[in-house]
Structure 1
């Protein structure tokens, strides 16, 4: 394969995320990434000192756009329920459209490396999780917003996680729903809970 003369950092970062999602952190070397991009390993080291630095840059770059879109969606209205609707539509769309990043996150959870998980929690998830729990607290003061947010994220991703096995189950009859379908179903479940008056 001929070497590309001037690969851009975005191309390197995108390639790294794709390979990490397919093989896991331990299954990918700097040489693998360089080969996939079409450059020599020394050229790759001109951009990143080591695999950990490349990993952190790739995850940050990938999540930066996502978190911006999610934050915009949950800040688009002064009405909290409309903000939740916008957020659910945005998060289900992100999950449906970027399976590579979703698969990457699943691998990281399974690998359970403390240092990488700390990075993901402190510098990635909290960017979305904190404002989202604040929104949930507005919708339902006094609720366990942390637990509720985990349950909502679980609902958002579950349909898409079942895609590989669905053809072999009775769930296949209806086919795969769109992100909008999934968001509407989640909202139909949540809305009565938020409107319920605590006694």
Structure 2
């Protein structure tokens, strides 16, 4: 029942926002009484945090697994970028919830999400970038890369209206290929055979 509530609430929150969706509405969507809903979640904030953890935890672990896969560094990075872009462009529930969190700017909830969900996969990204790029600050590089991908997704609705833009400019694989071409310019040179 808890998972059923989280799925229904995540879809409603993503579509309409937190303030527009009441606990009563979620209970109705799930087919339980409002009292039953409060049995599982003491209040709406606990439900919101539980929804965000439910939606983002598995995805963040998947990204971490890709980054820690043991493949060569460039392939790990390319796979991670492709996976993340596909998530941003295709998984509307998680993307809308993510953008809502950024726009809501609830500092306590953002800190909670960072510490409980995002930090491990971010650390993995920083390690991969440190191994792959010439950079004195892999954390800053990871912030920059992540922000660029998120910003690209947010800007994608405008892309089709820009003169000279091609439809494939909003395809995750095309974006990944282009970004990897740019990143290779700053990659550490492979060791020369001895």
Task: Tell me the TM-score normalized by structure 2.
Answer: 0.85
User: Could you tell me which residue of structure 2 aligns to residue 24 of structure 1?
Assistant: 17
Give the Cα separation in 1 of the matches to 2:164 and 2:2.
42
> How far did 1:146 drift?
2.1
> How far did 1:150 drift?
1.9
User: Could you tell me which residue of structure 2 aligns to residue 134 of structure 1?
Assistant: 127
- Tell me which of 64, 74, 82 is aligned to 1:89: 82
Alignment of 1:178-197 (within 5 A): 178-195=171-188
User: Could you tell me which residue of structure 2 aligns to residue 162 of structure 1?
Assistant: 155
User: Could you tell me which residue of structure 2 aligns to residue 101 of structure 1?
Assistant: 94
- Are the structure 2 counterparts of residues 180 and 173 from structure 1 closer, same or farther at C-alpha, using a change threshold of 3 Å? closer
Give the Cα separation in 1 of the matches to 2:29 and 2:96.
19
> Are the aligned partners of 1:63 and 1:124 in contact in 2 as well (CA < 8 Å)?
yes
Give the Cα separation in 1 of the matches to 2:21 and 2:99.
16
User: Could you tell me which residue of structure 2 aligns to residue 5 of structure 1?
Assistant: none
Q: Indicate whether 1:73 and 2:66 are aligned.
A: yes
Give the Cα separation in 2 of the matches to 1:33 and 1:58.
12
5+ residue gaps, structure 1 = 1-7
Give the Cα separation in 1 of the matches to 2:164 and 2:20.
33
> Are the aligned partners of 1:156 and 1:183 in contact in 2 as well (CA < 8 Å)?
no
> Are the aligned partners of 1:95 and 1:160 in contact in 2 as well (CA < 8 Å)?
yes
Task: Tell me the TM-score normalized by structure 1.
Answer: 0.83
